[in-house]
Structure 1
Amino acid sequence: MRQRMSLLLTLRFDILGLHRTDRSFFCLCGTREKERNDMTRWILLLSLSLGFALPALAGDDAYQKLSRQGMELAYNLRFREASSIFDRLIQLDPAHPRGYLLQAVSLYYRYQLEENHQEIEQQFLDFSAKAIRVAKQRLRDKEDGLDALFYLGTAYMYRAAYYAWENSWLKAYWYGKAGIASLEQVVKRDSSYFDAYLGLGVYHYYTDILPKYVKPVTFILGIKSDREKGLAELELAATKGRDSRAEALLFLGSIYLYTEKDYSQALRYFQTLATRYPQNPTFLLFLGENYQKMGKSALAVETLQNLLVDERARQFPVLMASAHFRLGNVYLGLKRYKEAIEQYNLTLDYTERSTGNVRWAKALAHLNLGRSYDLLGERTKAVEHYKQVRKSDHKHAYALAQERLKHPLPAKATGSLTSKTFDEIIEVYREALAKTKANGTSRRGRLPELTYHIATALYERAAYRSAATKYERVLAMENVPTPWIKPWAHFYLGNCYRKLGEVEKAKVEYQQAYRFEDEKLRAEIERIRRAM
């Protein structure tokens, strides 16, 4: 019987908030969220999604029982106790890759979640390399057959994920290719080895949604991509896999939450996982964000608060920082600014306690503290926090902070955005626009942004023809000081035309938007093109 260790501990950059940024104040409340515009993060998202669970050794019942005991400890984030058991597995059978591989998996997630990175990092490299050597030897000795091949592929994939995390892209792709090649051999020899479809599905899906200008790299490296095939393979693993069901549900939930943006579908997967594994708090982070994106703020608050009081979560500063940051975002969207500020300050507290990679949280917490104080009309405090956003911690958060230092929006206007009363938003921005025009040329730099926000409010109200007129006005302006406005104006103008049934005009605008070097924008356009 094949049994594999579920990666119920996955914390991708999406969840931790590394990508999280915005293009307008609509993003402030989650209405129009954008991810960080950095090509390497697209590749990282792909590579980090290639880790999966581990096959088990068929045979000795005592060995199997000990394996399951270690895995259960790992499920509950009790890594050190699990590690002791995996060491015992190695002692019992040093010629089998299973113990080494389980140890490597545990270390990989400890490396992401815990402190003492250098020590854990080296241990992961040693154990994963040993698992590969032992798996290859078993294949040479013609032992275990498909299971040994599956072990080998899995070990390769964890190495790929590690090197992607470290920005070593060529190594990440090399190990990823080797892992996929092993898994493809598995299903070629036995198409009913359904657990192998998990890794294949993730790989095929994420390589296909990379922006088009990255595709030549994947072609040169021999990477095959097929979005529909990938989704089908993941569904196959989720419904027919013996031990891959939890991982398949996790990746499907993440895909529908972050990429496909089908929040109802994503919710179905995450609710299943949270119910099936109530002792693992990491699923609550996904579930809380899912509720937020669906506009179910009360459920989002309740879910994230449950995570924050979980004793297992408290062991990991990076998880706690992310949860406090997410809860702050929910409160910000509810216009509960003082509670948002409290959560962002707690985020900062956890970044101070951690020696891990939580600089992103520090930058984004300061950025949103600045926004929160702006919404309260406390400009001096807002400026203090904007100034604390460091470029070295998060380049895009830094750019947004610099923009808000130069061009703050009226607190009345930004506050109204969080309530989604778009008529009020339009009126407030029109008042601000009139005042800006009245102030003469010294304030004319704000005209494009204010007009853009009026257009976006009209778009959200489904007044597509009026919104299109406003976006066209923005695009006709010269010397627009804020670089993101025109690309996204083209994009939303295209959306307006598409909603109005003017598909050819929409295609022209999408093409214009695609010319700008904005990775997230290009990904959004490609997603729409696939659906057209």
Structure 2
Amino acid sequence: MHFRWTVVLIGWLAGLSTLLANHYVPAPLDELILTGKNYLYHANFHQARQTFLTVQQQYPDYPHGYFYTAYMTLLVYSQNLSNDSLRQALEDQISLAQKVAAAFRKKNRQNPDAIFHQGLIFGLKGVLYVLDRSYLRAYWFGRKAIRYLEEVARLDPDYNDTYLGLGLFHYYVDLLPRILRFVVHVLGFEGDRVLGKQELQRAVRGGHYFREEARLMYILFTYFMEGEMQQSIAELKRMAADFPENPIPQLLLGYHYRRTGKLKQALEIFQQTPEIYPELLPQMVNIKYYNMAVIHFEMNRFDAADSLLDYLIRLPTRKSIYYQAAIHFYKGLIADLRMDRPTAEWHYAKIPRHKQSKYWYNAVQMYRKHPMDSLMKAYVMARNLYLGLQFAESLERVEKVLARLHAGVKSTHPDLPYLVRDLQAIDYFFLGKPRKALELYAELIPEISRMEDKVRKSWIYIRYARVLYSTGRFKEAAQMLDRANDVDDDYTHLIVKREEIIMERKQAQGK
């Protein structure tokens, strides 16, 4: 989850730095900007930064160089959120860029370039609040930025780069949690996912400086939120071929293959992914080794996973709160599977109740409250087989656990009977037996109101909804997604929104 939004954020940061078509910019400045962007695409981070500093030195009255200096610092800060001195430097750079942009606008009242750069600075501030997970504040600064973008679009409708920012904003607002969407609606602002996609497409087709950023963002939204995997992955492969030095397309491809169960292929991609600037972009390196460890875990290779996690801990890269929590989750779970409860409890206790680690805090509660036993261990290993697309093997293990439960064997985990039956049902679905899956879920769903773990209960509703809408039962699927949304977990809310989008498309295709 955090990986997808880390990459989305990096793409968004780039997307916020859209410029006007080159006829608004002096030709030498235009050339410098394009040179810096080319360095950035090919992961030559130091040369890109130096180029943008040169812009600042050669064009001190233009806001471009100051903006790009702050922009690149923001990229680095997004990977080092606990670095207070870097945060202060970034805020100082944004403040300076804002002053230069205001002075430039004063001298160039009707120049779209001047108007646009004032919007960019508000965009940078908005991203800072996204990093802080203060989404309503992020919305406010985003809205201020959008007002400038809208003015630019009115002055020059063919300014295609501006549609990247407009598209991101309109799409983002449509993804806000329901209560926040209601608040911004009352205030007179609307998100529009469909319009956002169209605007992104326009930037992809006609963007001057930011066609590649628009291309990446369109891939991310269509993949993560629209579920259009085939189209997205084909375009992502082309991007990886265009920029082989850049790890982002490769990391995304590896993530795709891991999440779709092609674990060996995913492992090969992560092993081949270059490690760039670990001191500046540490999370890129952390993402690589973390995913390799998770792949081994999902292959039931717990010793190999543990070794990779230890290697990741020893790396001198700064770990975000999210990745610290993720490491402790898997280290604790591996210790639990080895029946080493003291070590497991030590790791579990290290996961804070923090907004950046909320996903892992929620995930660990079941294991923290209840000791591992042989039944839960068998379930974890069966679920890993399911994640690796070994549905028959997973089902065989699941039904052995069910047989023991039916024979009267008790588990220390009160939710285990529900989790096992959920896995049994979804295994049958992927084995091509949707009717059997529906029967099993119909028996299970009335009982899960008793579950202790509210997040895992929501995910049972989500999986049942997928089976329902895959068999054309859209109304019932919508009801299950409504139930799934009734939980205090941002990631679950986001997945519910994605499932609603996918279901809407499937329903339209069936008409």
What is the TM-score when the length of structure 2 is the normalising length? 0.84
1:203 deviates by: 1.2
1:322 deviates by: 1.4
**How has the CA–CA distance of structure 1 residues 122 and 358 changed in structure 2, closer, same or farther, with 3 Å as cutoff?**
same
Q: Determine which structure has the larger helix proportion and give its number.
A: 2
Q: Distance in 1 between matches of 2:223 and 2:57?
A: 42
Q: Is residue 2:479 matched to residue 1:530?
A: no
1:237 deviates by: 0.9
2:322 matched to which residue of 1?
A: 360
Q: Is residue 2:105 matched to residue 1:139?
A: yes
2:311 matched to which residue of 1?
A: 346
Counterpart pick for 2:430 among 441, 457, 460:
460
Note the alpha carbon deviations across 1:149-201, whole angstroms, 9 max, x for none: 22222222112111221244454222211111111122222221111111111
Paired AA for residue 146 in structure 1: P
Q: Distance in 1 between matches of 2:380 and 2:364?
A: 15
1:248 deviates by: 0.8
Counterpart pick for 1:289 among 232, 246, 255:
255
Q: Distance in 2 between matches of 1:274 and 1:490?
A: 36
Q: Is residue 2:241 matched to residue 1:279?
A: no
2:215 matched to which residue of 1?
A: 249
**How has the CA–CA distance of structure 1 residues 80 and 512 changed in structure 2, closer, same or farther, with 3 Å as cutoff?**
closer
1:106 deviates by: 1.4
Q: Distance in 2 between matches of 1:505 and 1:97?
A: 54
1:404 matched to which residue of 2?
A: 367
Counterpart pick for 1:498 among 469, 472, 475:
469
Which stretch has the larger CA shift, 246-255 or 144-153? 144-153
Paired AA for residue 348 in structure 2: K
1:387 matched to which residue of 2?
A: 348
2:4 matched to which residue of 1?
A: 15
Counterpart pick for 2:452 among 481, 485, 496:
481
1:8 matched to which residue of 2?
A: none
* Structure 1 residue ranges without an equivalent (≥5): 1-11, 19-41
Q: Distance in 2 between matches of 1:99 and 1:46?
A: 20
Contact 1:448 1:485 in 2 (8 A): no
Contact 1:288 1:300 in 2 (8 A): yes
Counterpart pick for 1:317 among 271, 279, 282:
282
Q: Distance in 2 between matches of 1:292 and 1:489?
A: 21
**How has the CA–CA distance of structure 1 residues 441 and 384 changed in structure 2, closer, same or farther, with 3 Å as cutoff?**
closer
Which stretch has the larger CA shift, 409-418 or 235-244? 409-418
Contact 1:54 1:102 in 2 (8 A): no
Which stretch has the larger CA shift, 265-274 or 46-55? 46-55
Percent of aligned positions that are identical? 23
Contact 2:17 2:68 in 1 (8 A): no
Q: Distance in 2 between matches of 1:98 and 1:340?
A: 45
SS in 1 for 2:61: coil
Which stretch has the larger CA shift, 97-106 or 120-129? 120-129
2:69 matched to which residue of 1?
A: 103
2:420 matched to which residue of 1?
A: 450
Q: Distance in 2 between matches of 1:397 and 1:59?
A: 47
How many matched pairs?
492
1:247 deviates by: 0.4
Note the alpha carbon deviations across 1:29-86, whole angstroms, 9 max, x for none: xxxxxxxxxxxxx9x9998696344457856555445444544454455555544544
Contact 1:52 1:198 in 2 (8 A): no
Contact 1:263 1:293 in 2 (8 A): no
1:414 matched to which residue of 2?
A: 380
2:139 matched to which residue of 1?
A: 173
For residues 202-213 of structure 1, the aligned pairs below 5 Å read 202-213=168-179
**How has the CA–CA distance of structure 1 residues 305 and 515 changed in structure 2, closer, same or farther, with 3 Å as cutoff?**
closer
Contact 1:97 1:130 in 2 (8 A): no
Q: Is residue 2:317 matched to residue 1:369?
A: no
1:214 matched to which residue of 2?
A: 180
Q: Distance in 2 between matches of 1:103 and 1:468?
A: 55
Contact 1:76 1:280 in 2 (8 A): yes
Q: Distance in 2 between matches of 1:268 and 1:442?
A: 45
SS in 2 for 1:362: helix
2:404 matched to which residue of 1?
A: 435
Paired AA for residue 15 in structure 1: R
1:258 deviates by: 1.9
Paired AA for residue 352 in structure 2: K
Contact 2:222 2:229 in 1 (8 A): yes
SS in 2 for 1:501: coil
Contact 1:371 1:382 in 2 (8 A): no
Paired AA for residue 105 in structure 1: Y
Contact 1:96 1:135 in 2 (8 A): yes
Contact 2:172 2:191 in 1 (8 A): yes
Paired AA for residue 383 in structure 1: A
